[in-house]
């Protein structure tokens, strides 16, 4: 990994204020209050574990969202910035996106921004200024242009401080992504897990926020641990009435009778940015794609299955509940080759 310059940006977009404490105090109550709270060391310069892998943050930009135009400032990744009474921490009340970065450029950025705005609307959060978020993600990605291998930017917006909501909290964190070579080559052992909702939950119970990319991923992580207990590595969620949905951090693509099919977002699942780009690539090769519902019984006729996500690309499924699934290595390589050729 190349060395990354952590010094604050001198770019025109940067918010010139402030050490974190000054920024925080402008959002807060009486003097001295700052001394009574603790700051959570959110992005820490020391490696920490995510999904069993080590992730060392490289670049951190903190947003000031107290004005409509907003601004952002570069910080050291181990600066103490997030208050422990931030609703993102106490309630998981916020949204996020993770975009893959190649050669310093965030991929599928417009699709990520559109989904970010959609998630914000579902949570009744202030509409994000997409121009500002675009610039902060691009700036974060650009600082990692010299890094070896793939990197990614995770950008988050929370509702703000509990009992004193004046502005959302926002940041963009750049970090090295996991190497996807192995999973793309060897495939995934996957289990089906019931998500516990009907297929029409998004329509009947929108307050359950199915289909929003919220910071509340504890359930998704628990599902991955359940998969591990069952000797697998990943999950396809199903609805209580037998529809195939998505993985805890990936979209599903199935090939049935030569047609590449993914379930629709109307089932309360995310509109996958990687799946979207994979479909564009498949269509460019003259193959047929379709967004359509799939039921568990359809798996019996699946010729191949993939879980697709920003940092892994298209990972083939090699077994489902312990039963081998055919892997189409050639098409997998084609899809991932096409995904890796994206430049924006």
Among 43-51, 67-75, 176-184, 243-251, the segment contacting ligand PLP (CB under 6 A)? 243-251
Q: What are phi and psi of 29, to 5 degrees?
A: -75, -140
C-beta of 273: minimal distance to ligand PLP in Å? Answer: 3
Q: Indicate the Cα dihedral angle 229, 231, 232, 235, nearest 10°.
A: -40
Interface size with ligand PLP, residues (CB under 6 A): 14
Interface characters, 217-236, with ligand PLP (x: CB under 6 A): --------------------
Cβ proximity to ligand PLP, 24 vs 270, nearer residue: 270
**8 A C-beta contact, residue 197 and residue 210:** yes
CA 136 to chain centre: 16
Query: Could you give the CA distance from residue 212 to residue 219 in angstroms, rounded to a whole number?
Result: 14
C-beta of 40: minimal distance to ligand PLP in Å? Answer: 23
Among 169-177, 200-208, 273-281, 297-305, the segment contacting ligand PLP (CB under 6 A)? 273-281
Among 214, 251, 289, 332, interactor with ligand PLP by CB under 6 A: 251
Cβ proximity to ligand PLP, 24 vs 261, nearer residue: 261
Question: Which secondary-structure segment (H or E) carries 288?
Answer: strand 288-291
Residue 63: how many other CB atoms lie within 10 Å = 24
C-beta of 37: minimal distance to ligand PLP in Å? Answer: 31
Q: Copy the structure tokens of residue 279.
A: 């479909």
Determine, following the binding rule CB under 6 A, whether residue 150 of this chain makes contact with ligand PLP.
Answer: no
Residue 38: how many other CB atoms lie within 10 Å = 9
Residue 322: how many other CB atoms lie within 10 Å = 10
**8 A C-beta contact, residue 251 and residue 269:** yes
**8 A C-beta contact, residue 108 and residue 272:** no
Query: Which residue(s) pair with 236 in the sheet?
Result: 192
Longest dimension (CA), the chain: 67
Q: Copy the structure tokens of residue 80.
A: 């103490």
Residue 2 Cα distances to 47, 58, 105, 174, 176, angstroms: 16, 10, 16, 14, 11
C-beta of 272: minimal distance to ligand PLP in Å? Answer: 4
Among 273, 289, 332, 336, interactor with ligand PLP by CB under 6 A: 273
Q: What are phi and psi of 44, to 5 degrees?
A: -110, 140
Q: What are phi and psi of 281, to 5 degrees?
A: -65, -40
Map the footprint of ligand PLP across residues 59-118, applying CB under 6 A: 98
Among 143, 169, 249, 262, interactor with ligand PLP by CB under 6 A: 249
Among 152, 254, 270, 305, interactor with ligand PLP by CB under 6 A: 270
Cβ proximity to ligand PLP, 146 vs 292, nearer residue: 292
Among 7-15, 23-31, 149-157, 270-278, the segment contacting ligand PLP (CB under 6 A)? 270-278
Could you tell me which of 51, 278, 305 has the C-alpha nearest to residue 190? 305
Among 135-143, 244-252, 282-290, 315-323, the segment contacting ligand PLP (CB under 6 A)? 244-252
Map the footprint of ligand PLP across residues 170-199, applying CB under 6 A: none
Map the footprint of ligand PLP across residues 295-314, applying CB under 6 A: 308-310
Among 64, 79, 233, 246, interactor with ligand PLP by CB under 6 A: 246
Determine, following the binding rule CB under 6 A, whether residue 274 of this chain makes contact with ligand PLP.
Answer: yes
Catalog residues that contact ligand PLP under the rule CB under 6 A.
98, 246, 248-251, 270, 272-275, 308-310
């Amino acid at each position: 990994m190349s060395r990354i310059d952590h010094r604050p940006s001198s770019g025109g977009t940067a918010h010139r204020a402030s050490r974190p404490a000054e920024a925080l105090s402008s959002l807060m109550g009486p003097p001295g209050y700052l001394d009574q709270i603790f700051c959570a060391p959110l992005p820490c310069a020391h490696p920490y574990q995510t999904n069993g892998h080590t992730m060392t943050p490289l670049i951190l930009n903190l947003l000031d969202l107290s004005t409509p135009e907003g601004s952002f400032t570069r910080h050291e990744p181990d600066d103490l910035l997030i208050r422990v009474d931030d609703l993102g921490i106490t309630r998981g009340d916020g949204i996020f996106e993770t975009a893959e970065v190649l050669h310093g450029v965030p991929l599928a950025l417009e699709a990520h921004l559109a989904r970010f705005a959609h998630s914000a609307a579902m949570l009744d959060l202030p509409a994000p200024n997409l121009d500002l978020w675009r610039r902060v993600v691009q700036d974060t990605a650009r600082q990692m242009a010299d890094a070896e291998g793939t990197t990614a930017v995770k950008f988050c917006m929370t509702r703000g401080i509990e009992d004193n909501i004046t502005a959302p909290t926002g940041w963009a964190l750049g970090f090295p992504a996991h190497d996807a070579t192995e999973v793309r080559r060897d495939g995934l052992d996957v289990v089906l897990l019931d998500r516990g909702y009907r297929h029409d939950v998004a329509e009947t119970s929108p307050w359950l926020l199915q289909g929003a990319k919220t910071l509340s991923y504890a359930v998704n992580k628990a599902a991955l641990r359940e998969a591990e207990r069952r000797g697998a590595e990943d999950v396809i969620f199903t609805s209580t009435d037998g529809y195939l949905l998505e993985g805890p951090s990936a979209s599903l693509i199935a090939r049935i009778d030569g047609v590449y099919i993914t379930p629709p977002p109307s089932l309360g699942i995310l509109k996958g940015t990687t799946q979207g780009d994979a479909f564009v690539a498949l269509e460019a090769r003259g193959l047929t794609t379709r967004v359509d519902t799939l039921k568990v019984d359809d798996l019996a006729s699946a010729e191949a299955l993939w879980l697709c996500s920003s940092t892994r690309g298209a990972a083939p499924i090699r077994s489902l509940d312990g039963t081998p699934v055919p892997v189409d290595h050639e098409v997998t390589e084609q899809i991932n080759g096409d995904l890796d050729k994206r430049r924006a």
